[in-house]
Structure 1
């Protein structure tokens, strides 16, 4: 089995360090894109929405975008990758640290797979 690890953080200064940590444990091929959360998109309208008005104060205007990192991992790589994320981003329960989650991957194409008995271009799980 394989998993897609997704990490979202607005601590953009930590992304390069995270990539180095992933490389150190043999994980390559991560993709990073700029993203924006719902609160950021609604920033100007938050005062008009009950409950969300107080969120406006929490939004850090210094970082208008998040970085979302995607990496397809073999099951054996998931826990080491999560440890690397936590090492770099530290306590994810703190505000603005980020989130991470995994999603099962049923099919991969265009990814080099390490197993010698597997077609290196595609695999269905």
Structure 2
């Protein structure tokens, strides 16, 4: 098992990703509102150059969505394909980031289905 964590810079893509996840049998994710470092620094007087950086990377948005999904290793690529399809690719500037972390033990939840 692994936890797939991805930061989605455009929250408008979230619903489509969740629907696509459901279509392939991924039925559980936890979603939290998050704010990136560039956004915090943009309001800091000592870091005024970050204001422009934040606007460029986040296209004027002040928050992100961070999604946590526990999956079997063989499901990770399917999930990443969906994320890349909907966002236009995480390699594009300001679209987001994804990574996985190995999971040793899970208690509760419906992860067995994923």
Q: TM-score range by the shorter chain?
A: 0.7 to 0.9
> How does the TM-score come out when normalised to structure 1?
0.79
Cα root mean square deviation, aligned: 2.1
8 Å contact kept, 1:9–1:96: no
Q: Work out whether 1:10 is the aligned partner of 2:9.
A: yes
Question: Which stretch shows the higher mean deviation, 72-81 or 47-56?
Answer: 47-56
Which structure carries more relative contact order (alpha carbon 8 Å, separation 6+)?
A: 2
> How does the TM-score come out when normalised to structure 2?
0.86
Q: Return 5+ residue gaps in structure 1 as ranges.
A: 115-125
Q: Return 5+ residue gaps in structure 2 as ranges.
A: none
Compare the two structures and name the one with the higher helix fraction: 2
Compare the two structures and name the one with the higher strand fraction: 1
Q: Return the offset for 1:111.
A: 2.5
8 Å contact kept, 1:7–1:99: yes
